[in-house]
Amino acid sequence: MSKIPFKVFLDTLNIISQHTTPDVHLEIADWLEQTEENPRRILQMFRNGGKSYIIGAYVCWKLYTDPNWTCLLISAKRNLALRNSMFIRNTIENHPLLQHLKSDLYTWKSETFTVERPIMQLNPSVTVSSLGASYTGLHASMVIGDDVETSDNVLSADQRAKTKERVAEFGKLAPRILMVGTPHHEDTIYDHLQSVGYELKKVPAIRTRKIRQEDSTEIDEEYLAWDNHPEGMFTYDWLERQRMETTEGDYLSQYMLQPVSIYQSLVQLENIKYYTDEFLWQNIAQPFGTYLTSCHLGKHNISRLCAAWDAATGLHGRDASVLSIVARDMDGNTFVHDVVTLSAVDADTKDFTIQCREIILSCAKHKISHVFVEENFSATLANELRRVAREMKIMVQVVPKFRNKNKMVFIAQIMEPLIKVGRLYVHERVRDNSLFMDELQAFPRMKHDDCIDATAEAISNLPNLSVDVTKVAKVFNPLQNAGSRFKIN
């Protein structure tokens, strides 16, 4: 029997941190304690709801009630499990009820540590591992799988099958398994685990409960899971902002816990607006020879402007090489001003000089001062573009970027929020002379995505201060024939 109930222990931890334990956390604490005899459990809770905090406290409480208890913390990425382990260790070091567990006999590391316990055994009290690591020699009283499913490991059927295989091995490591996380795909592993006997506790951000009316009939009533968050989160208005600022799939899966893909078909394409205006530049001379530069697009005052190159050979049957030019005004409207499909490289030499010249000429035409070059295709193309710019005597700041985020998720999270709130403007030449709109409409099941990929990369870099249009005067000096001279800063 435990010395104190888990929800009481959780409350003491919050009192030390000068926080109040919300009702939803007390409900989860009760469920974790009441279902301890169940060897297979799943806890799903909305994003930022504090589930990892609760699980960290749960591990501390288990060690408090039974110092001989051991656990394996396994996540898709080791750094997440390591973060949880460090929280557990710090709690043991600082909580008044846990001071006796701090041991000087055993190694006290963040990735694995052992508390003071009466029985000597091989297994550390807490061990951290990742889903892709070897489990040979690992054993514990309980395996806690925290976020073993992520947006990166559900992209293909093979990846999802591999995750199922790894989770199936958990039963060989410990007699009890607790899975904690949120779904990221319609074929989520949590549905599979529930089908094989796991008990599920699901806590979405907006819940429903039965209300009995005067005529004894029952109706469903919506209510917020955490309506008194100290920072004002998880209100209806806050959740609506989250829904508008991310993809519909991301919102439904992470806050409503509905098993859908984060990147679904881009919604409400009818919200996209079209325009025909061109950039209007003004350079106002300032004292001491400097210039104040401004850029307008019709009635819009442009504050950010850049381009991105999604490099490829462009050969027949392969990905196209695309340059996308985008802008943003003072009100947060985003403009897809030009999407240029570049010429294919020479099939024999694979020389990118022609593509580089086309990029530089497009930059000079629109007075683009910064080009972001995706390095995933080749790490040498940024230097190649700089070399061609020097030869053409046109100054362009080339910024290499390496992207490690999944392409589909990246495109959806960049494009869909802008479309939903009606902040995306597309030039008519982009609509009529490129595959940009066709790729948007076919997403995510299009054969090619080069135009929207380059555009998403460019838009993602608009908040960067280096693309401020007020710095364009330093690149394109109006007194020296804008864009015709090259100067190294």
Residue 11 confidence class, pLDDT cut points 50, 70, 90: very high
% of residues, the chain, pLDDT over 70:
93
Confidence of residue 474 (pLDDT cuts 50, 70, 90): low
Looking at residue 85, its pLDDT comes to 87
- Amino acid, single-letter form, for residue 199: E
Distance of CA 486 to CAs 19, 120, 176, 343, 392, Å?
Answer: 58, 72, 66, 24, 8
Q: Are 287 and 211 in contact (CB under 8 A)?
A: no
Q: Mean pLDDT lowest for which of 137-146, 282-291, 336-345, 373-382?
A: 282-291
The pairing of beta strand 199-203 with beta strand 40-45: parallel
Determine contact, residues 196/202, Cβ cutoff 8 Å. Answer: no
Distance separating alpha carbons of residues 465 and 461, to the nearest angstrom: 9
- Tens digits of residue pLDDT in 222-239: 999 998 998 999 999 999
Residue carrying the six token digits 């008990």: 199
Q: What is the pLDDT of residues 426-445, one digit of tens each?
A: 999 999 999 999 888 888 77
Pick from 158, 150, 143, 156: which is nearest to 182 by CA?
A: 150
* Structural domains of the chain ordered from first start: 6-206 (3.40.50.300), 269-480 (3.30.420.140)
Q: Contact at 8 Å (CB) between 125 and 70?
A: yes
Cα 461 to Cα 305: distance, rounded to the nearest angstrom: 9
Residue type at position 475: V
Compute, in degrees rounded to 10, the torsion defined by CA atoms 92, 95, 97, 98: 10
CB 262 within 8 A of CB 188: no
pLDDT digits (tens, 9 = 90+) for 244-254: 877 788 888 99
Instruction: Give the residue-averaged pLDDT of 85-104.
Output: 88
- Rounded Cα distance between 324 and 334, Å, is 13
Higher pLDDT, 414 or 43: 43
* Residues 81/146, Cβ–Cβ less than 8 Å: yes
Overall average pLDDT of the 372-383 stretch: 84
What number of residues does the chain have? 489
Provide the whole-model pTM: 0.70
Residues 379, 226 contacting (CB under 8 angstroms): no
Cα 27 to Cα 301: distance, rounded to the nearest angstrom: 51
Instruction: Please check whether residue 469 is in contact with residue 305, taking contact to mean a CB–CB distance below 8 angstroms.
Output: yes
Mean pLDDT of the chain: 87
| Cα torsion angle, 145, 146, 149, 152, sign | negative
Residues facing 229 on adjacent strands? none
Other Cβ atoms within 10 Å of 364 Cβ, number = 18
